[in-house]
Amino acid sequence: MKFLHTGDWHIGKKLNGYDLLEEQQDVFRQLMAVAEKEQVDAIVIAGDLYDRSVPSVEAVEVFNWMMREMNIEKKYPVLAISGNHDSSTRLETGGPWYEPLRFHLHTRLEQGLAPVEIDDTQFFLLPYFEPFAARRYFEDDSLKTIQQAVAAAVAEMEKRFDPHKKQVLVSHFFIAGSTTTDSETKVTVGGLDVVPLSLLENFDYVALGHLHNRHALHSDNVRYSGSLLKYSLSEVNQEKGVWVVELTDTETNMEFFPVTPMRDVKVLEESFDTLMTPSFYSEINREDYIGIRLTNKEVIPNVMNQLRSVYPRIIQLERAHGRTAQELNVLASSDLQKKDPLTLFADFFETAVEQPLTIQQKSWLEEEYMTLEKEG
């Protein structure tokens, strides 16, 4: 059994307003090229397929294309779970129809307890879940923590282990001893929401999602795939890619295949003058997503507009030496002043609600605004 292990796709994720769908399609093609070259038998996706529970129509289109490509066109069996960013109910749509084509997408705890068997391997696809789901399923009110809930789930799986087969767990949790980055959901520190490694020792391999850094955990057979792209500035130094895992009769072999993003995410810590010097910026890819840490201490008028004229995709601007000047507080302040109130409200609404205004809502807004203008 040879399979590819990926996860944390976060389709539809935006980086400070910049849409990453193009980058996500590009990196997906690289993933497929690895699967083909390595002739894997299956593809494992360890949760967080989407970035949010109600993805945009554009994100749904991209994700549908990826799934068709993987399972219908290239005919790879797919072994996937929902993560904490996904809506398990929405992802569940279609589930019973997917399975005959060996596309297994598990979104509920109980689905994770029975293995999906492919050749000599039992895959347990345990989606992200909350302790209350375990209390309800096991009818056991003592399951207060994720640690206890996962222990109950693993005990149930172990009853179904076939000694003649290999066992792989696919899951989406924070494992004790791991370290986190900014773009992951905050986890409770103190141990309650953490799953100890020792619980997982009877599996031949554990394919994890959740943490975006594949080095977050040190273990022989328990691995995070990491995300497919850098989803925050705290991930700038992480190499992204996928694992190819081979289970032989005697051992588990793991090889990491890096992917190269169309546009990278990086941090520049320099003085304003350096950043604006052609001999400096002609040496770097200015199309990348860039976080800037200015080393200057003085106020620089119109700083963002000047920087944007050279670096079109600035995703953060801060002072390297602590002082936060007013000028830096609102990233797109100069843009703000150019927008009319209706556009500003529409932007604010879209940010807060994660949906654009409907035509009906826009017309209400316009009416209200005209009334206000008259009264003013």
* Binding region for a copy of itself (CB under 8 A): 54, 57, 60-61, 63-64, 68, 71-72, 87, 89-90, 92-94, 96-98, 100-101, 103, 352-353, 355, 361
Write the DSSP symbol of residue 227: -
Give kind and range of the element (H or E) at residue 159: helix 146-159
The helix (run of H) or strand (run of E) holding residue 109 is none
Q: Compute the least distance from the CB of residue 90 to a copy of itself, in Å.
A: 6
Q: CA-to-CA distance for 192 and 348, rounded, in angstroms?
A: 36
Rounded distance, CA 116 to CA 131, Å?
23
Neighbours of 271 (CB within 10 A): 15
Residue 64 C-beta: closest distance to a copy of itself, Å: 5
Minimum distance, C-beta of residue 340 to a copy of itself, in the bound complex (Å): 21
> By C-beta, is 337 or 358 nearer to a copy of itself?
358
Nearer to a copy of itself, 312 or 356 (CB): 356
Report the distance separating Cα 184 and Cα 168, nearest Å: 24
Nearest Cα to Cα of residue 117 among 164, 67, 49: 164
Smaller CB distance to a copy of itself: residue 103 or 205?
A: 103
Q: Determine contact, residues 109/135, Cβ cutoff 8 Å.
A: no
Which pair of tokens denotes residue 314? 């600035």
Specify the residue, 101 or 284, whose C-beta has the smaller distance to a copy of itself: 101
Q: Quote the CA–CA distance of 46 and 49 in Å, as a whole number.
A: 8
**Least distance to a copy of itself, CB of residue 153, Å:** 23
Closer to a copy of itself by Cβ: residue 55 or 115? 55
CB 44 within 8 A of CB 82: no
Measure Cα distances from 136 to 39, 106, 133, 146 in Å: 41, 18, 5, 14
Q: How far is the CB of 43 from a copy of itself (least distance, A)?
A: 16
CA angle 107–108–111, rounded 5-degree value: 100
Identity of the residue, 248 or 364, whose beta carbon is nearer to a copy of itself in the bound complex: 364
Q: Which is nearer to a copy of itself, 54 or 330 (CB)?
A: 54
- Least distance in angstroms from the C-beta of 101 to a copy of itself: 6
Buried b (16+ CB within 10 A) or exposed e, 55-74: bbeebeebbeebbeebbeee
| Smallest distance, a copy of itself to C-beta of residue 63, A | 8
Least CB distance to a copy of itself at residue 374 (A):
23
272-277: Cβ within 8 A, 24+ apart: 272/296, 272/300, 272/303, 272/306, 272/307, 275/307, 275/310, 275/311, 276/306, 276/307, 276/310
Least Å distance, CB 361 to a copy of itself, is 7
Q: Which is nearer to a copy of itself, 71 or 111 (CB)?
A: 71
- The residue among 6 and 71 lying less far from a copy of itself, judged by its C-beta, is 71
Query: For residue 256, what are the contacts with CB-CB under 8 A and spacing of at least 6?
Result: 214, 241, 242, 243, 244
